[in-house]
């Protein structure tokens, strides 16, 4: 959660390609809606077995919902090591969102069963 519940990120593993993760940006108050992040990429540093690994999430361009290369509610990345990793600690290096920004926000990714 970023800002006073202004932005929440959901990390989703692609069921057909387990080496791919997608970020979905939401707001929950006053109503649930996808929100566009004003970013051309989202950098995440994951720690797996004591080793840091970088993930660069790029915008998913979709004109039907207004996502473009600099403002998107969906970002995606791929890395071979993801397919064999069910959980990891990570941090979002920097995030701009409507109404604010955040640096080095930590989280734990756990694959849903």
Specify if 45 maps to a domain.
Answer: yes
pTM of the prediction? 0.90
Question: Which CATH number fits the domain that encloses residue 38?
Answer: 2.60.40
Query: The domain containing residue 99 runs over which residues?
Result: 8-110
Specify if 95 maps to a domain.
Answer: yes
pLDDT tens-digit map of 76-102: 999 999 999 999 999 999 999 988 899
State the Cα–Cα distance between residues 80 and 63, nearest whole angstrom: 29
| Residue 32 DSSP SS3 | coil
**Residue 40 near residue 59, CB atoms below 8 Å:** yes
Specify if 2 maps to a domain.
Answer: no
Mean pLDDT within 68-77:
96
Cβ-proximal residues to 18 (8 Å cutoff; 6+ apart), any chain: 82, 83
Specify if 3 maps to a domain.
Answer: no
Specify if 1 maps to a domain.
Answer: no
Domain count for the chain, please give it.
1
pLDDT tens-digit map of 10-58: 999 999 999 999 999 998 766 778 899 999 999 999 999 999 999 999 9
**Residue 53 near residue 79, CB atoms below 8 Å:** yes
| Residue 39 DSSP SS3 | coil
**In this predicted structure, what is the pLDDT of residue 18?**
93
């Amino acid at each position: 959660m970023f800002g006073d519940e202004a932005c929440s990120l959901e990390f989703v593993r692609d069921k057909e390609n387990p080496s791919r993760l997608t970020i979905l940006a939401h707001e929950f108050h006053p109503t649930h809606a996808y929100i566009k992040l004003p970013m051309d990429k989202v950098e995440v540093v994951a720690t797996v077995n004591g080793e840091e690994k970088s993930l660069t999430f790029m915008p998913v361009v979709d004109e039907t919902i207004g996502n473009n290369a600099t403002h998107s509610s969906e970002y995606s990345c791929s890395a071979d090591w993801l397919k064999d990793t069910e959980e990891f600690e990570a941090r979002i290096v920097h995030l701009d969102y409507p109404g604010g920004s955040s640096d080095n926000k930590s989280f734990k990714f756990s694959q849903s069963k």
